[in-house]
Amino acid sequence: MITAEKHARSSGRLGLLLGLCLATAGPALAQAPLDSLGGITGRLQRYEQRGPQEKLFLHLDRPVYLSGETMWFKVYAVDGTHTRPLALSSVAYVEVLNAAQQPVLQGKVALANATGQGTFVLPAALAAGSYTVRAYTSWMKNFSPESYFHAAVTVLNPAMASGAGSRDSAAYDARFFPEGGNLVRGLRSRVAFKVTDKAGRGIAADGKVLNQNGTVVATFKTLRLGLGSFAFTPAAGSDTYTAVVTLGKNRVLNRPLPRPYEQGYVLRLDQSGADQLTLQVEGSSTQPETVFLLGHSRQKTAFATRLQLVGGKASFVVSKAALLDGVSHFTVFTADRQPVCERLYFQPPRHPLALTARPDKPQYTTRDKVSLQVSAADAQAPVAANVSMAVYRLDSLTTGPAPAIDRYFWLTSELGGRVENPDYYFTATGPEATEATDNLMLTQGWSRWRWEDVLATPKPFEFLPEPNGPVIQAQLTQPGTRRPQKGVIAYLSSPSRLVRLRNAQSDAQGMVRFEMNSFVGPREIILQTDPAQDSTAQFTVLNPFSARYAAAAQPAFGLTPRFQADYAKRHLQVQVQNVFAGRYRNRFAPEHVDSLAFFGKPSETYLLDKYTRFKVLEEVLREYVPGVVVRIRKDGFHLMVVDKLNNTILSENPMVLLDGMPVFNINKMMAMNPLKIQRLEVVDGRYFHGPTAYNGIVSFTTYKGDLEEFPLDAHALAQQYDGVQRQREFYAPRYDTPQQQQSRLPDLRNLLYWNPEIMTGTAPRPLDFYTGDQAGRYLVVLQGLAANGLSGSSSFVLEVKPAL
């Protein structure tokens, strides 16, 4: 509920939250000269202070599902600079998108202490294919949708298991990326390239670059995962260049190189030593000129310097120790602060979070107990970390590993394109790994991070954070004209036995915002205005989910004929589990509900079943409720509350509520059958509620909290609205006793164990679960985040043998 009084408190909390977020950025940021580089670093610092970067990561329980199964996930929220837990938002929006980028499932997940957990039950009719799970917060909607979390999953539909499909292997692509962003005639550049199939996987290739006369001016060959680079100097004049890419023996692609500029700049990065980098800037003009060079890691300034180009050249040496772990950006600006070149560099985390889970046996049998000791440590000692763990069966349908939290935060979330096999860039060493990593940074081209947004005049953010639950937004307009209604008090209620009422005043655009703390599950909401102030306003509830989508291509999908037996087997397993364990699917954790009404403890409470029941509400009030005076005037009934504190009677109608819904027509309320009312509460004084003040409150509550078919105002809007998800409880059978061991109920679980909330400390955390009836190999996956920003992931395989 965002009201005048509470909005001020919310704004204060928001300012405090943003201040705390910035405090975690560390002292190094403050050391950057505020007005250096003609004000560029100052604008960067102000941009970060005004709009802290928020990131989400989802640990998905597995990469492949059958329709009808449950998808489990854990949400981690961090600040984008140091990846420390960030409690800025209390709601995460999670969606499952199909190949056409249309949402097929949507949910709101509650976040507490920067984490949350949720589920999706995949519909039985969901078509087989590749899907994208994406997640974001309200605050993240102010920025590019590429900054949302994205992960690809595969869904198999049993109805299609007998069909066949295949990937279109005829579609290939080759793209070329000049280092720094541009080719300039007469300046030597390094050009990276990326060759992929339709699924986005890198493939081996070689080729040559031809000028418009057909002369070979450069040759190239992929190094790893379809990536490579070559040196090239565009000639002066009007030459255009074409790359001829050879794939195998009989396939050739022709692709134009980016057209060279007549004038401009190039930026080259050389790893001149084990501990330093050399950045070389070269311009097409031979006249002395000044350029600015700025290096930053996720908006934290590492260095800022002026360079004097002499003979069109200048260089600068950077210590790797000055850069944060992960991706850093080096940007060249002209003297008038225009960005002209940018280069990316990746430094693997020097002190990752080490997660371990030690099993008590080298292998297990079916229906056997598995005991693990889970711990987290940094380079020095064990640390407290928030960890999630999944254990699922490896089979021929497993497509590959799910995203890892450290790979995502340090690498893939900072790049605009798809990163194939990110593990390689964290674990491989040697010259080839260094060159392959450089090729990856080169093929990202210009970053999706926009300097135009930093250097432009700040604009108000459209979307605010949600620190205290989901915010319902609606617009008030005039019917027919759709003209926004300004300054109108709107009321939102959700009828129930828990009396909750929110109000807000519309702004110049007719927008009202209601902060809905403790709003769980699908509920009916009712929006209305007081007819005495406005009886014509029309409400439109806004969709809180983002309507913008990233441009990343969906991976190709096809059913493989040789796996038809595996599809059928997995389908059978799902069906058996649904029959014998389906009753455990919808077990939810108990909700902690505050039963106190929004107005606190009432002055008077009447449980009407304790009194002689009357059939007319007027008689009930006159006989039993001395704190409410009933008057009849020309327009009908009026109620007046006795202000006992000031020993007076308030002359205007109080706020009358039925199951938390405002009733402005007192005649309709007095016509209600009092036998449907279980409780009556009175607040016997003026009550200030946000931008309004009530002349007391008279609250009626029915037995079921469902309004008992009370007629709504003709201009009220009633509709279903989803709050945050209820939290499902993961079910796994136990076989502690001989009787349980000998149970004839089949146990064909694919997902043996899921625990999204494992807190580690100085001592290992013990966990245990049981295997099912399927022998095979099971992958144990751990993801975790420590309070200091260290993140880590690990996995190992459990062997389960058939029981003898």
Q: What is the Cα–Cα distance from 93 to 145, expressed in whole angstroms?
A: 13
Residue 58: partners with Cβ closer than 8 Å, 6 or more residues away: 73, 74, 75, 76, 94, 133, 135, 149, 151, 403
Instruction: Note the pLDDT of residue 17.
Output: 45
**Which pLDDT band holds residue 555 (cuts at 50, 70, 90)?**
low
Instruction: Note the pLDDT of residue 799.
Output: 97
Q: What is the Cα–Cα distance from 769 to 391, expressed in whole angstroms?
A: 10
Asked whether the beta carbons of 680 and 608 are under 8 A apart, the reply is yes
What distance separates the 2 farthest-apart alpha carbons in the chain? 104
Coil/strand/helix, residue 646: coil
Rg of the chain's alpha carbons, rounded to an integer?
Answer: 32
Whether the predicted pLDDT of 33 surpasses 70: no
228-237, pLDDT tens digit by residue? 999 999 999 8
Q: Which stretch of DSSP H or E encloses residue 783?
A: strand 776-786
Instruction: Note the pLDDT of residue 448.
Output: 52
**Phi, psi for 766 (deg, rounded to 5):** -80, 135
Pairing of strands 313-319, 326-333: unpaired
Burial class (CB in 10 A: 0-12, 13-18, 19+), 727: middle
**Which pLDDT band holds residue 273 (cuts at 50, 70, 90)?**
confident
Dihedral sign of CA atoms 351, 356, 362, 365 in order: negative
Bridge partners, residue 754, by sequence: 390
Instruction: Note the pLDDT of residue 381.
Output: 84
Model pTM score: 0.91
Q: Which two tokens stand for residue 390?
A: 């999944």
Instruction: Note the pLDDT of residue 447.
Output: 59
Whether the predicted pLDDT of 330 surpasses 50: yes
86-95, 243-252, 763-772: least confident range: 243-252
Bridge partners, residue 209, by sequence: 218, 243
Q: What mean pLDDT is predicted for residues 370-385? A: 92
Whether the predicted pLDDT of 542 surpasses 80: yes
Asked whether the beta carbons of 711 and 528 are under 8 A apart, the reply is no
Q: Which two tokens stand for residue 580?
A: 């014998």
Q: What mean pLDDT is predicted for residues 460-484? A: 93
Instruction: Note the pLDDT of residue 214.
Output: 93
Q: What mean pLDDT is predicted for residues 261-289? A: 91
DSSP assignment of 224-258 equals BTTEEEEEE-PPSSS--EEEEEEETTTEEEEEEPP
Whether the predicted pLDDT of 804 surpasses 80: no
Whether the predicted pLDDT of 170 surpasses 60: no
Q: What mean pLDDT is predicted for residues 412-441? A: 92
More confident residue, 19 or 124: 124
- Give the residue from 216, 220, 215, 210 showing the smallest Cα distance to 190: 220
Q: What is the Cα–Cα distance from 758 to 766, expressed in whole angstroms?
A: 10
Instruction: Note the pLDDT of residue 9.
Output: 39
Whether the predicted pLDDT of 245 surpasses 60: yes
Whether the predicted pLDDT of 51 surpasses 90: no
Q: What is the Cα–Cα distance from 596 to 108, expressed in whole angstroms?
A: 25
Asked whether the beta carbons of 66 and 395 are under 8 A apart, the reply is no
- Tell me, what DSSP letter sits at residue 568? H
Whether the predicted pLDDT of 5 surpasses 60: no
Half-sphere exposure of 74 (CA within 13 A, CB side): 28
Q: What is the Cα–Cα distance from 259 to 245, expressed in whole angstroms?
A: 18
Range 95-98, long-range pairs (CB < 8 A, 24+ positions): 95/133, 95/134, 95/135, 95/545, 96/71, 96/120, 96/131, 96/132, 96/133, 96/153, 97/131, 97/132, 97/133, 97/134, 97/549, 98/127, 98/129, 98/131
Whether the predicted pLDDT of 411 surpasses 70: yes
Asked whether the beta carbons of 743 and 375 are under 8 A apart, the reply is no
277-293, pLDDT tens digit by residue? 999 999 999 889 999 99
- Tell me, what DSSP letter sits at residue 275? S
354-363, 395-404, 711-720, 765-774: least confident range: 395-404
Q: What is the Cα–Cα distance from 799 to 775, expressed in whole angstroms?
A: 8
Q: What is the Cα–Cα distance from 323 to 303, expressed in whole angstroms?
A: 9
Q: Where are the alpha helices (DSSP H) in 698-784?
A: 738-741
The mean pLDDT of the chain is 89
**Which pLDDT band holds residue 36 (cuts at 50, 70, 90)?**
low
- Give the residue from 571, 577, 573 showing the smallest Cα distance to 67: 571
Asked whether the beta carbons of 129 and 103 are under 8 A apart, the reply is no
Q: What is the Cα–Cα distance from 690 to 346, expressed in whole angstroms?
A: 50
Q: Which residues of 686-720 are buried (b: 16+ CB within 10 A; e: fewer)?
A: bbebbbbebbbbbbbbbeebebbebeebebbbbee
Nearest-5° angle of CA 759, CA 765, CA 769?
105
Range 111-114, long-range pairs (CB < 8 A, 24+ positions): 111/75, 111/77, 111/87, 113/85, 113/87, 114/76, 114/77, 114/78, 114/85, 114/86, 114/87
Range with top average pLDDT, 17-26, 85-94, 189-198, 334-343:
85-94
Q: What mean pLDDT is predicted for residues 21-25? A: 41
Q: For the chain, give the number of residues.
A: 804
Residue 346: partners with Cβ closer than 8 Å, 6 or more residues away: 326, 327, 328, 411, 425, 437, 440, 441
670-728, pLDDT tens digit by residue? 999 999 999 999 999 999 999 999 999 999 999 999 999 999 998 899 999 999 999 99
Asked whether the beta carbons of 233 and 187 are under 8 A apart, the reply is yes
Instruction: Note the pLDDT of residue 802.
Output: 93
Q: What is the Cα–Cα distance from 114 to 90, expressed in whole angstroms?
A: 8
Q: What is the Cα–Cα distance from 19 to 465, expressed in whole angstroms?
A: 14
More confident residue, 274 or 715: 715
**CA dist list (Å): 517 to 485, 600, 703:** 26, 16, 24
**Which pLDDT band holds residue 35 (cuts at 50, 70, 90)?**
low
Beta-carbon neighbour count of residue 419 at 10 Å? 19
**pLDDT cut 70: percent of the chain above it:** 92
Instruction: Note the pLDDT of residue 573.
Output: 84
